[in-house]
Amino acid sequence: MPLYAEVIIDLVSNAVDRPFHYHIPSEMQDKIKPGMRVEVPFSNRRCQGYVLRLPGKSAVDSLKDIAAIIDPEPLLTAEQLALSHWLSMRFYCRLIDALHAMIPASFRKGKRPGEIKVIEPTDLADGAALKRAPAQEKTLDLLRQKGPLPRQELIRLGANSHSIRSLEQKGLVRAVTARATSPVNDGLEDEQVSLTKPHLLREEQAICFNRIRAALEEDKPEKMLLHGITASGKTEIYLQSIARCLELGRSAMILVPEIALTPQMIEHFAGRFPGRVAVLHSRLSVAEKNRQWQMILDGRARVVLGARSAIFAPLGIIGLIIIDEEHETTYKQEEAPRYHAREVAWWRARYNRAVLMLGSATPSLESYHEALEGKSVLLRMQERVTPIQLPPVSVVDMREELKSGHRFIFSRRLLEELNGVIERDEQALLFINRRGFAGFVLCRECGHVVRCSSCDVSLTLHLDRQVMCCHYCAHEAPVPETCPACRGTKIRYFSAGTQRVEEEVKKLYPETPLIRMDRDTTTGRHAHSHYYQQFRERKAKILIGTQMIAKGFDFPDVTLVGVVAADTTLNLPDFRAPERTFQLLTQVAGRTARGPRGGRVIVQTYHPRHHSIVTAADHDYISFFEKELENRRQLAYPPFSELVRFLFSGPDEEAVFEAATWLTGRLEPAAGEAQILGPAPASLYRIKEQYRVHTILKGRALPRLAPGLKKVIREYHRRKDSGSVRLAVDFNPQVVL
């Protein structure tokens, strides 16, 4: 029998980010298991903790006893415990942060998913004589016929509360905890879903599917990159691969980058696998998430569909993990643990001897380079499944528009095409990757830009509420009538956002129904699904939106995509900006020419000769990849290196620089041959009244340095004067601003 337990205390604190040993009392020795929640004495109080393992001996002579077992069964599986240790080391987070990422918050607070209290007969009920108590006998008969029931349901069926209490006092029935079994499908009942059958695969699809099927049947971990142009039929490959995985007795998981994509994906997957799909994303209520989680734990849901955090779903016997649009930055968590779902997926695939499939029309440079190096299998689909091939793309030089005196937000070419769409009763998408009315408010007399008082960024004008808003700290200010710097009256709005586009479209086409989708309009829990359904049912002719409309949507009547400002991402001070621009333009261009009417794309830009825009207009991923890869090679950026970013933030500018300088100096012995860049002010130097300074470690095989780097980080947190300066460590950050 184990005598000792290694426990991590459930406190988010660097001071207790290590396991503690406890003695297991004799009455618990045959009950304690790794993964269980326990209550333990800690300092001068009792705390919740998680049992990590049961060591055979302890180096500590005098140990405190575990006070209580909280759960009858482990809350964490052996796989999750192993994954938490890897997460902690790989992404420089506290172990408790890693564990929290895997467990719904309601579980951690003591409520198991779908648990309900029910009344059930005891063994004494079999021979009970209740002829003189007909109400009690009726209650027992109900329980014998229908099985254990919640107290309220028992009363609804005809029992009364007095008879139930009497039976409890006699020991003939008892209240126990049971698990609810009613499935939830994110508001989509099975009868609302149209059942679908597998489609006949085209030649390219069949080649890719046969290779995936062979990998599934080999029972060994394998990573594959499915590079298929937009509308090449990747979703059908996913569906048929999952079907084969289920036939082999294993489970499957598919991740999507945006919650906006889930309504359409739910239709695809629930229609093909009715009653077997669990949906996980942040817009679910606590009760909905718990029920979905319970379906997975019970084995009723063998397919999980969700956003980034669904990668931690407690699926057993995983055979296939799919990451759709694998290039998207939304797969990177920006708070601790700062994991990338792609890396976690590959860890789980190796652990389960499963296949990891990465799908994209515009793969990340890292994934494509890895495939060319032979570290993963490259599958290509270069033809659309529809008769209509990729749409023609016209690039409009907005500098020429200005020279000719046309100062409108829409170019003459885009206006001409929009008029045609309205006349022909078709649909159009207008894409601009900025919400609000104007990106900044400027005085044309002195050049003053109205900025946030707490952040080093300009305020965005939101005309519908007549306020200027900071998109980082949510600070709001009234729109000035005069310049706060020079008292001038020539206040102008520059750099359009979704609101401005919406207003201009309404002026041009006041009778034309439209929909705007951005973070401001989709705050409701079912807003994405509502707008998706409205546009699909042609209740609107024009859809205006940010990047949430740039991928995944399949509307056959969309014959025009207008990119209002292609330079929004291109001008960011980030080495990945050209890649982001190419991916966004290619993805949004793929939303048209999906039906018999075909389609066209108009791209408005001030940089018409930039290679990311030229290659996107030509639908030429290979040329973009080769050009951008060479740029990365010259600068030794990923995929030719890895990065670890140390970001310091605090209200005292001098203290932040001092902390950054101290840790950077300690990095040199631990960094090996890696290059140390900084400390230097971050591009966004001040956010929410916090000054931001970073140091970046750049080199190859940086995970090998993790033990030494974590030692330096622990030393930093033990410093007495480090409390006012927050340190965030990010392995391979996707955005460096």
Q: Is 59 exposed, middle or buried (0-12, 13-18, 19+ CB in 10 A)?
A: exposed
Confidence check: pLDDT of 173 > 50: yes
Q: Tell me the pLDDT band of 112, cut-offs 50, 70 and 90.
A: low
Average per-residue pLDDT for the chain: 88
Q: Report the chain's terminal Cα–Cα distance, integer Å.
A: 53
Q: Which of 237-241, 395-399, 469-473 is least confident?
A: 469-473
What's the pLDDT band for 593 if we cut at 50, 70, 90? confident
More confident residue, 407 or 303: 303
Per-residue HEC secondary structure of 124-163 comes to HHHHCCCCCCHHHHHHHHHHHHHCCECHHHHHHCCCCHHH
Sign of the torsion angle spanned by Cα atoms 398, 403, 408, 413: negative
H or E segment to which residue 464 belongs: none
Contacts of 197 (CB under 8 A, 6+ apart): none
Q: Over pLDDT 70: what percentage of the chain?
A: 93
Per-residue b or e along 178-206, where b marks 16 or more CB atoms closer than 10 Å to that residue's CB: eebeebbbbebeeeebeebeeeebeebbe
Rounded Cα distance between 645 and 728, Å, is 8
pLDDT at 528: 81
147: left (phi > 0), else alpha (psi -120 to 50), else beta? Answer: left
With 60 as the cut, is the pLDDT of residue 191 above it? no
Lowest mean pLDDT among 74-83, 129-138, 605-614, 701-710: 129-138
- Say what the pLDDT of residue 153 is: 78
| Domains annotated on the chain, with CATH | 4-108 (3.40.1440.60), 115-179 (1.10.10), 190-381 (3.40.50.300), 393-435+497-632 (3.40.50.300), 436-496 (no CATH), 642-731 (3.30.70.600)
Among left, alpha and beta (phi > 0; psi -120 to 50; other), residue 160 is: beta
| Residue 572: pLDDT band with limits 50, 70, 90 | confident
Residue with more model confidence, 722 or 125: 125
Span 543-565, average pLDDT: 88
Q: Which amino acid type is present at position 256?
A: V
Between residues 444 and 241, which one has the greater pLDDT? 241
The residue that leads in pLDDT, 297 or 572, is 297
Residue 242 · residue 293 · CB < 8 Å: no
Q: In the predicted model, what is the mean pLDDT of residues 300-313?
A: 94
Q: Give the lowest-confidence range in 188-192, 457-461, 556-560.
A: 188-192
Q: Is the per-residue pLDDT at 244 higher than 90?
A: yes
Average pLDDT over residues 521-525: 80
Can you tell me whether residue 467 is helix, strand or coil? strand
**What average pLDDT does the segment 82-99 reach?**
96
CB atoms within 10 A of CB 403: 9
Phi, psi of 74 (to 5 degrees): -60, 140
Q: What is the pLDDT of residues 647-664, one digit of tens each?
A: 999 999 999 999 999 999
SS3 of residue 371 by DSSP: helix
CA distance readout (Å), 615 to 376, 622, 662, 714: 25, 9, 45, 46
**CA dihedral of 521, 527, 528, 534, whole degrees rounded to 10:** -100
Residues 418-436: what's their mean pLDDT?
Answer: 90
CA distances from 431 to 74, 447, 591, 673 (A): 48, 29, 11, 44
pLDDT for 414 equals 96
pLDDT tens per residue, range 259-278: 766 677 888 898 999 989 99
Q: What is the mean pLDDT of residues 414-425?
A: 95
Neighbouring-strand partners of residue 224: 357, 377
If pLDDT is split at 50, 70 and 90, which confidence band does 184 have? very low
Q: What average pLDDT score do residues 568-577 get?
A: 83
Q: What is the band of 463 on the pLDDT scale with cuts at 50, 70, 90? A: low
**Predicted pLDDT of residue 190:** 41
Average pLDDT over residues 107-134: 76
**Least confidently predicted of 276-280, 445-449, 585-589:** 445-449
Cis ω for the linkage preceding 639 (within 30 of 0): yes
Residue 151 pLDDT class (50, 70, 90 cuts)? confident
pLDDT of residue 187: 40
* Among 479, 447, 475, 442, CA closest to 462: 479
The pLDDT assigned to 358 comes to 98
pLDDT band at 186 (very low <50, low <70, confident <90, very high): very low
Can you give the pLDDT at residue 435?
67
Q: What would the mean pLDDT of 128-133 be, rounded to a whole number?
A: 81
Q: What is the pTM of this model?
A: 0.84
Question: What pLDDT does residue 192 have?
Answer: 58
Scanning the structure block, which residue is given the tokens 């082999």? Answer: 248
CB atoms within 10 A of CB 208: 25
Q: How confident is the model at residue 199 (pLDDT cuts 50, 70, 90)?
A: very high
Residue 262: what pLDDT? Answer: 64
Q: Are 347 and 573 in contact (CB under 8 A)?
A: no
Give residue 185's pLDDT band: very low, low, confident or very high (50, 70, 90): very low
Give 101's pLDDT tier (boundaries 50, 70, 90). very high
Residues 6+ apart with CB under 8 A from 268: 196, 235, 239
Q: Which of 32-41, 120-129, 330-339 has the lowest mean pLDDT?
A: 120-129
Query: Which of 14-18, 186-190, 334-338, 507-511 is least confident?
Result: 186-190
Averaged pLDDT, 79-89: 96
pLDDT for 486 equals 83
**Mean pLDDT along residues 602-623:** 94
Output the six-digit token pair for 523.
């705050």
